[in-house]
Amino acid sequence: MTAQELKEKLSEDDIRKLLAEMGATFYYEDDDMWITDTICHHGTKPKLYYYKDSESFHCYTECGQMDIIGVVMGYKGYEQEEFQKAINWICIKLNIDNCEYGFGKQEQISDWEFIRKYRRTAKKEIETKPLIPYDKSILRIFQKLYTQDWIKEGISIETMEKYNIMYSTWQQKIIIPHFDINNQLIGVRGRSLVDEDIDLFGKYTPFKVGRRFYNHSLGQNLFGLNHNMKTIQTKRKIMLVEAEKSVFQTDTMFGEDNFTVALCGSNLTDYQRGLILMLGVREVIIALDKQYQTLDSEECKKWAKHIKDKIIDKLSAYVVVTVLWDSNDLLDYKDSPTDKGKETLLRLMDQKIYVGTNN
Ligand SMILES: [Zn+2]
């Protein structure tokens, strides 16, 4: 049996059974989707979405889009080449007969065809597929209400207006539209204000209206570039932050002089790197959240390594890279360098660390 044949055999119940086998907890389900914890990488957050329509999974933490075989491979720690082990595992768990892999030449050939396809869709094509813009009129269903929470956190109403921030009263979420460099609407994210939701689903979730998801590949954009490109090109520097909120805070601090964009995560994708290099900047300032309690902790070492592997090493051959590193305890745990106001941010910038340029 080939992977394709196996997938065609699987019913919704089978998928559910397999997820349960992997110890998944179902946090949410409706007619269109399920949300479980991220068993694909042994994570605990409910950020693995299953879309019934397309029979595909999306891990919003790190794995991206995949099918059920991909989920099993992640769960079992199989390499891409070992996908037949995942097929066997599924067959055993569901008592599907005659699926022992490797007998018969015909089957083998078709499975190798499959893996070539699988690899391409899993790695490259998804990332570079052009995003189809959404109709901006969707934003009309939201209200122009500005939450006091954000004003307290240093985001002005002016900034919220500039970035088209809205509010959804029925979902109790702040609505953050994502525009690309050409001001096309390419996605909408909701930031929950309900604590239970935050605990369950994380702060940011893809937004759903009716049956349609307004999610997009966040790695295929730099949030805020549509507003800040001119300054970035004039100053020839760019500051990378994790979340949209930091872009809003720096907009309130610096206005037209803002050169900040958000990665919407803590990795730099190849696509984002391409955008940065295209801008012709000389310096990239990395200003991610403080993901460590103390400087001498294991957590801190791990975080530094992550930033080096996922961002610095991808850029240092081309531009000067500097990092904002909170050596003087100016920030609290998990704060963004922009969270404590302009003065603190400027102090961090004064003490930025040069981490390398290879030219
Ligand atoms: Zn995952």
pLDDT (tens digit per residue) in 33-42? 899 999 999 9
CA of 192 from ligand 1 middle (Å) equals 22
How do residues 274-299 score in pLDDT, each as one tens digit?
999 999 999 999 999 999 999 999 99
Spatial contact of 48 and 227, defined as CB atoms under 8 Å apart: no
Is 225-356 assigned to CATH 3.40.50.1100?
no
Strand (E) or helix (H) holding 229: helix 225-235
CA of 217 from ligand 1 middle (Å) equals 15
Classify 17 in phi/psi space as left (phi over 0), alpha (psi -120 to 50) or beta.
alpha
Q: How confident is the model at residue 216 (pLDDT cuts 50, 70, 90)?
A: low
Across-strand partners of 204? 191
pTM: 0.67
More confident residue, 82 or 224: 224
CA of 143 from ligand 1 middle (Å) equals 34
And the tokens for 116?
């070539």
- Looking at every residue in the chain, the average pLDDT score rounds to 84
Fold for 136-216, please state it.
DNA primase DNAg catalytic core, N-terminal domain (3.90.980)
**Any idea what DSSP says for residue 123?**
I
CA of 61 from ligand 1 middle (Å) equals 6
Res 103 pLDDT > 60: no
- Give all strands of the β-sheet with 237-241 in edge-to-edge order: 260-262, 237-241, 283-286, 320-323, 353-356
And the tokens for 190?
């909701």
**Any idea what DSSP says for residue 337?**
T
154 phi and psi angles, rounded to 5 deg: 90, 25
CA of 116 from ligand 1 middle (Å) equals 21
How do residues 142-200 score in pLDDT, each as one tens digit?
888 888 889 999 999 999 999 999 998 877 889 999 999 889 888 888 887 776 666 65
CA of 235 from ligand 1 middle (Å) equals 37
CA of 191 from ligand 1 middle (Å) equals 21
Instruction: State how far the Cα of 133 lies from the Cα of 127, in Å rounded to an integer.
Output: 15
At residue 169, the pLDDT reads: 81
Of 183, 185, 205, 178, residue with least CA distance to 194: 205
At residue 237, the pLDDT reads: 96
Spatial contact of 286 and 324, defined as CB atoms under 8 Å apart: yes
Of 180, 263, 274, 189, residue with least CA distance to 229: 180
The pLDDT > 90 percentage for the chain reads 51
Instruction: State how far the Cα of 237 lies from the Cα of 228, in Å rounded to an integer.
Output: 11
Cβ-Cβ contacts under 8 Å for 158 (sequence gap 6 or more):
252
Spatial contact of 87 and 69, defined as CB atoms under 8 Å apart: yes
CA of 253 from ligand 1 middle (Å) equals 36
More confident residue, 69 or 83: 69
Buried b (16+ CB within 10 A) or exposed e, 198-221: eeebeebbbbbeeeebbbbbbbbb
| Residue bearing tokens 């604590």 | 195
CA of 334 from ligand 1 middle (Å) equals 21
At residue 245, the pLDDT reads: 95
3-128 sits in which CATH class?
alpha beta
**Domain limits of the chain?**
3-128, 136-216, 225-356
Res 110 pLDDT > 70: no
Instruction: State how far the Cα of 73 lies from the Cα of 68, in Å rounded to an integer.
Output: 9
CA of 317 from ligand 1 middle (Å) equals 30
Lowest mean pLDDT among 56-65, 209-218, 255-264: 209-218
And the tokens for 301?
């070492």
Residue 148 C-alpha from the chain's centroid: 26
More confident residue, 311 or 8: 311
Across-strand partners of 285? 239, 322
CA of 42 from ligand 1 middle (Å) equals 7
How do residues 120-156 score in pLDDT, each as one tens digit?
444 443 444 566 777 888 788 888 888 888 999 999 9
| Residue bearing tokens 């080939």 | 2
CA of 49 from ligand 1 middle (Å) equals 10
Spatial contact of 6 and 91, defined as CB atoms under 8 Å apart: yes
Of 198, 300, 199, 290, residue with least CA distance to 246: 290
CA of 163 from ligand 1 middle (Å) equals 30
Q: H-type helices in 80-172, by residue range?
A: 83-94, 105-120, 126-128, 148-152, 157-162
The pLDDT > 70 percentage for the chain reads 82
Same-fold call for 3-128 versus 136-216:
no
Name, of 192-201, 207-216, 257-266, the range with top average pLDDT: 257-266
Of 80, 97, 102, 118, residue with least CA distance to 6: 97
One-letter amino acid identity for 271? Y
And the tokens for 306?
């992550």
| Residue bearing tokens 């400087």 | 295
One-letter amino acid identity for 261? V
CA of 46 from ligand 1 middle (Å) equals 10
CA of 290 from ligand 1 middle (Å) equals 22
Instruction: State how far the Cα of 136 lies from the Cα of 126, in Å rounded to an integer.
Output: 23
